[in-house]
Amino acid sequence: MKTAILIGAVAGPLLASAQLHALAKDAGLLYFGTAVSPSDSNDGAYYRLSNDIKNFGQYTPDNAQKWDATEPSRGRFTYGQADSIVNRAISNKMLMRCHTLVWYSQLPGWVSSGSWTKDTMTSVMQTHISNVMGHFKGKCYAWDVVNEALEDDGTYRNNPFLKALGDSYFALSFKFAAAADPSTKLYYNDYNLEYFPVKADGAVRIAKLVQAAGVPIHGMGLQAHMTIGRTPSRENLTWTLNKYVALGLDVAYTELDVRIKNLPSNATGIQMQAKEYADIVGSCLDVPRCVGITVWGFGDAHSWIPQTFPGAGEACLFDRNSKPKPAFSSVSALLASASGKRPPWNTAASTAVAAVTKPAAATPTAA
């Protein structure tokens, strides 16, 4: 019933005119953004919508800044694809969330298969971070410095960095990033933090390790790759965000999508998706240090979900023809209803630290 009311509130005039970034700013967030790719230009309607500053005020490159794209062979750096996205953002006067520096996946073979000592891995990491961040210095609002370093049980994921350096690689990564561009916000980024409290606690442990080393860490990125029927409640999501706020960190949803597990979808699934999108965005509105929302990306025609999760899909706010779905309507209505009710996100707002009180409801498990 609540979902139907929410969607009904924006059916008609608002459905055609609601614009996510403008509404998010009015609701006190810094941005509503999307992941983008250089190949977006091959789809005219999608590309035009991705350049609409009133709908999207921030970009994240989906793959163009990852290690295999930026340093495919040792010491040889390539930035053409990433530059095309950054230049689009600058032209559109959008923010950039840059992504990502130290990640176990999409590593070139020379890194993933190398035989590394503590000293050689330290040198390789410093060289990579310094060069990539140096190239984009002053152009990135934030960087995902370390990405997906945890298993779902909260233990450290096995990767070349952990093998060579142990858990010291977290602080080293942030140390090198802070030196390369002192003006940017530095984030740890991971998925399933919303689902598994033990993994959420692992991210707390990483943040504390970095802080204990006297190295800057500014934010926690929660990817929010969700499945309908398994998305935690707004209350539980808010509780998880506040775990990181209690450490003095900003928080953001960095890769949001809500997939429908079994296709073709039906009316019940579509309505459930709309409600769960609104719950996620609502939890960000509930937390003064939640900076913004990034969807991964915004249209079903360009979603990564069907390839990664066969049989699932339709995870985005817009359909395959770049037309808004009920989830778009529910998010737009929620943001519109929150206009003026939260102070604009800024340094003063970001100093607020909420009490971390675990809600009574249990957090559901991921699919």
Q: Which residues are catalytic?
A: 148, 255
Q: The tokens 């500014």 sit on which residue?
A: 218
Distance CA 160, CA 112 (A): 6
HEC sequence for the chain:
CHHHHHHHHHCCHHHHHCCHHHHHHHCCCCEEEEEECHHHHHCHHHHHHHCCCCCCCEEEECCCCCHHHHCCECCECCCHHHHHHHHHHHHHCCEEEEEEEEECCCCCHHHHCCCCCHHHHHHHHHHHHHHHHHHCCCCCCEEEEEECCECCCCCECCCHHHHHHCCHHHHHHHHHHHHHCCCCEEEEEECCCCCCHHHHHHHHHHHHHHHHCCCCCCEEEECCEEECCCCCCHHHHHHHHHHHHCCCCEEEEEEEEEEECCCCCCHHHHHHHHHHHHHHHHHHHCCCCEEEEEECCCEHHHCCHHHHCCCCECCCCECCCCCECHHHHHHHHHHHHCCCCCCCCCCCHHHCCCCCCCCCCCCCCCC
Other CB atoms within 10 A of residue 85 CB: 22
Confirm if 195 and 365 have CB atoms less than 8 A apart.
Answer: yes
Residue 65 sits at the vertex; the CA angle it makes with 161 and 301, to the nearest 5 degrees, is 120
Distance CA 213, CA 215 (A): 5
